[in-house]
């Protein structure tokens, strides 16, 4: 059916999203090159926001946060999916339970894990010292070199179930003939994993990884709720820096300049990824 | 060898011990924080603050729940959360039904462009648009109102809702609609009398998805709802942990109050929810 009626149906949603996305994005651009009085100042805001050392530090923290989260989310998610793809009694229940971390609010995950990581009264220190893995309790959330890994661990726990469920759907859509052909050739289970499952779910993994990158770049909740970026900016990631510049220092224009740079980097990542995704079908080696 | 013969009948797989250990480990990792949350929420202060920590409470108490439900603002925030989540879920559903109908059933100029535009919304770094959104809402007088958050939540719920519903609508045989057109039904009539009843699983999946995402949302709520008349539960919980800094029992009780509705909703509808989500992802 070819008519403009279709566009009429789509229009309300487009107007709402345009108002909430396109306009703010354009407005950020304007804010980033003007001062509080609205006068054009060129690249002054960019220079101001790039000068402090903390901006570079936040960028490095962001890279660690995103990279560390994604590697473990994908590995654990794929492992859980391969497990859940097996037939065993109680599989449905295990699958439901495994999804709960992903469904519950980020702030609940943050507070509960903060309590578990508590230096004196936390159960994690108790368990680790109990089995002899630690000699004495560690201040996970107050020590500079443990706090970011702890945050990454929470983020991995929260999101690997999402990877698992998506990869599981991919595994279940693999044609049965592929397995049968492999079995005729005498393939073992691990041959199947390596030569059938992993190659077949590669598109799903690529798509899910893109979502995970975006979510990691957006996820302020866990870090903000536990450390607000501290101690000594060790967990300050760029989104939190933007938030604090805008709402704590009330430097809207500098926050906008940082937003523009952040936005640019994210869009480049998205673009590269979508290109990779588009090139994928067909190259089955 | 007999193994060759039996492998035709039985799919090779992980050994039973590996499956058992793996499944137990998976369940333990996923559930332990909730068990600890629940246990902590019924402990008295002196049992919470002992070194080493105690696993089971000797004198279980509901005092923490009493504090959360009757001596804090959590009930009010709960109400705010319900209003905002229901409002934005409803609005997203209405907009998504029309948009998905347009995308699934019509060809028009720029269709794939607009479909991509909607998806890009899902990929947007939210932190980058907080500042201009705040200023826009302020100009419109929508900061600290229910409507402000309901509208802003369209950014996070609408794109995936449109995407999921489009794939559901496409799966409905077009012959049904053509028959209705011959019988003289209008486009909107077809949408409401044929397409919608046939895609109820998709509708439920979208509803659950939108409700859960808005119920859990933190950053927008933190920026755009600073008054206690509109604050949502996630903000309430964050505030609670600052206000009752040392009272982890009450914080864990508040976490339980916040988790239970969403966990129940998910467990009841999980089959439809997961089905809708993975269908959208693998076909999209």
Please give, rounded to a whole number of angstroms, the shortest distance from the CA of B53 to a CA of chain A.
6
Q: Do A243 and B23 touch (CB under 8 A)?
A: no
- Among B10, B16, B26, B160, pick the best mutation site for testing chain A contact (most A Cβ within 10 A): B26
How confident is the model at residue A278, as a pLDDT? Answer: 67
* Residues found in chain B: 284
Please give, rounded to a whole number of angstroms, the shortest distance from the CA of A161 to a CA of chain B.
9
CATH number, domain containing residue A88: 1.10.3720.10
Assess whether B134 and B216 both reside in one domain.
yes
Which of the pair, B21 or B128, is modelled with greater confidence? B21
State ipTM.
0.86
Q: What is the pLDDT of residues B51-104, one digit of tens each?
A: 778 888 888 889 999 988 998 889 999 999 999 999 999 999 999 999 999 998
Asked if residue B42 belongs to a domain, the reply is: yes
Asked if residue B266 belongs to a domain, the reply is: yes
Please give, rounded to a whole number of angstroms, the shortest distance from the CA of B259 to a CA of chain A.
6
Give me the total of CB pairs closer than 8 Å, taking one residue from chain A and one from chain B.
289
* Domains held by chain A: number: 1
- Among A36, A81, A107, A172, pick the best mutation site for testing chain B contact (most B Cβ within 10 A): A107
How confident is the model at residue B279, as a pLDDT? Answer: 64
Give the least confident one: A217-226, A231-240, B64-73, B269-278.
B269-278
Query: For the residues A115-130, what does the mean pLDDT come to?
Result: 89
Distances, alpha carbon A138 to alpha carbons A68, A131, A145, B37, in Å? 21, 14, 11, 21
Confidence of residue B9 (pLDDT cuts 50, 70, 90): very low
Asked if residue A207 belongs to a domain, the reply is: yes
Confidence of residue B12 (pLDDT cuts 50, 70, 90): low
Assess whether B81 and B197 both reside in one domain.
yes
Asked if residue B274 belongs to a domain, the reply is: yes
Assess whether B169 and B271 both reside in one domain.
yes
Q: Chain A within 8 Å of B104 (Cβ-Cβ)?
A: no
Query: For the residues A239-252, what does the mean pLDDT come to?
Result: 90
Asked if residue B46 belongs to a domain, the reply is: yes
Asked if residue B8 belongs to a domain, the reply is: no
Assess whether B42 and B106 both reside in one domain.
no
Confidence of residue A163 (pLDDT cuts 50, 70, 90): very high
**Residue A70 belongs to domain spanning:** 60-116+156-279
Please give, rounded to a whole number of angstroms, the shortest distance from the CA of A143 to a CA of chain B.
20
Question: Which range in A110-119, A135-144, A168-177 is most confidently predicted, on average pLDDT?
Answer: A110-119
Confidence of residue B1 (pLDDT cuts 50, 70, 90): very low
How many of the other CB atoms lie within 10 Å of CB of A276?
Answer: 12
State what percent of residues in chain A have pLDDT above 70.
96
Asked if residue A182 belongs to a domain, the reply is: yes
Assess whether B86 and B145 both reside in one domain.
yes
**Averaged pLDDT score across all residues of chain A:** 88
Q: What is the pLDDT of residues A40-80, one digit of tens each?
A: 888 999 999 999 999 999 999 999 999 999 999 999 999 99
How confident is the model at residue A283, as a pLDDT? Answer: 41
How confident is the model at residue B115, as a pLDDT? Answer: 85
Token pair 């354009």: residue = A26
CATH number, domain containing residue B190: 1.10.3720.10
In chain A, the residue whose alpha carbon lies closest to the alpha carbon of B123 is A214
């Amino acid at each position: 059916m070819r008519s403009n009626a279709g566009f009429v149906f789509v229009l309300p949603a487009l107007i709402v999203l345009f108002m909430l996305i396109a306009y703010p994005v354009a407005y950020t651009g304007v804010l980033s090159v003007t001062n509080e009085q609205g006068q054009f100042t060129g690249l002054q805001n960019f220079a101001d926001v790039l000068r402090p050392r903390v901006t570079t530090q936040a960028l490095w923290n962001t890279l660690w946060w995103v990279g560390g989260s994604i590697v473990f989310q994908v590995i654990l998610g794929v492992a859980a999916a391969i497990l859940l793809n097996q037939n065993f009694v109680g599989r449905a229940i295990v699958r439901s339970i495994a999804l709960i971390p992903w469904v519950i609010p980020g702030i609940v995950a943050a507070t509960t894990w903060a309590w578990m990581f508590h230096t004196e009264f936390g159960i994690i220190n108790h368990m680790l010292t109990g089995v002899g893995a630690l000699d004495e309790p560690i201040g996970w959330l107050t020590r500079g070199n443990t706090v970011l890994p702890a945050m990454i661990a929470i983020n991995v726990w929260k999101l690997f179930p999402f990877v698992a469920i998506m990869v599981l759907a991919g595994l279940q859509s693999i044609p049965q003939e592929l397995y049968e052909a492999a079995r005729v050739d005498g393939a073992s289970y691990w041959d199947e994993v390596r030569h059938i499952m992993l190659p077949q779910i590669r598109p799903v993994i690529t798509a899910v990884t893109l979502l995970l990158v975006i979510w990691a770049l957006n996820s302020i909740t866990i870090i903000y709720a536990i450390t607000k970026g501290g101690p000594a900016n060790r967990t300050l990631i760029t989104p939190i820096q933007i938030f604090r510049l805008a709402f704590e220092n009330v430097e809207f224009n500098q926050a906008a300049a940082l937003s523009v740079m952040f936005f640019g980097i994210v869009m480049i990542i998205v673009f590269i990824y979508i290109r990779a995704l588009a090139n994928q079908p067909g190259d089955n080696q | 060898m007999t193994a060759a013969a039996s492998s035709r009948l039985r799919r090779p797989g992980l050994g039973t011990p590996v499956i058992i250990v793996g499944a137990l480990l998976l369940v333990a990792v996923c559930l332990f924080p909730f068990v600890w949350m629940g246990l902590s929420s019924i402990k008295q202060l002196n049992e919470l603050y002992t070194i080493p920590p105690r696993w089971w409470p000797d004198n279980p108490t509901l005092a923490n729940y009493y504090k959360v439900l009757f001596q804090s603002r959590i009930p009010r925030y709960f109400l705010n959360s319900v209003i905002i989540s229901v409002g934005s879920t409803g609005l997203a559903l209405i907009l998504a039904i029309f948009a998905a109908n347009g995308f699934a059933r019509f060809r028009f100029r720029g269709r794939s462009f607009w479909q991509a535009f909607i998806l890009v919304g899902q990929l947007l770094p939210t932190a980058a648009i907080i500042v201009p959104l705040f200023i826009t809402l302020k100009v419109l007088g929508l900061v600290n109102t229910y409507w402000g958050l309901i509208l802003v939540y369209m950014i996070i719920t609408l794109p995936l809702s449109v995407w999921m519903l489009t794939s559901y609508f496409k799966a409905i045989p077009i012959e049904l609609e053509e028959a209705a057109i011959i019988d003289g039904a209008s486009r909107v009539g077809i949408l409401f009398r044929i397409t919608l009843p046939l895609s109820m699983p998709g509708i439920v999946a979208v509803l659950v998805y939108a409700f859960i995402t808005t119920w859990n949302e933190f950053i927008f709520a933190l920026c755009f709802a600073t008054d206690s008349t509109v604050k949502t539960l996630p903000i309430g919980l964050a505030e609670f942990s600052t206000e009752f800094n040392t009272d982890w029992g009450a914080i864990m009780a508040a976490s339980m109050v916040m988790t239970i509705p969403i966990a129940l909703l998910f467990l009841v509808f999980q089959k439809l929810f997961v089905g809708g989500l993975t269908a959208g992802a693998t076909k999209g």
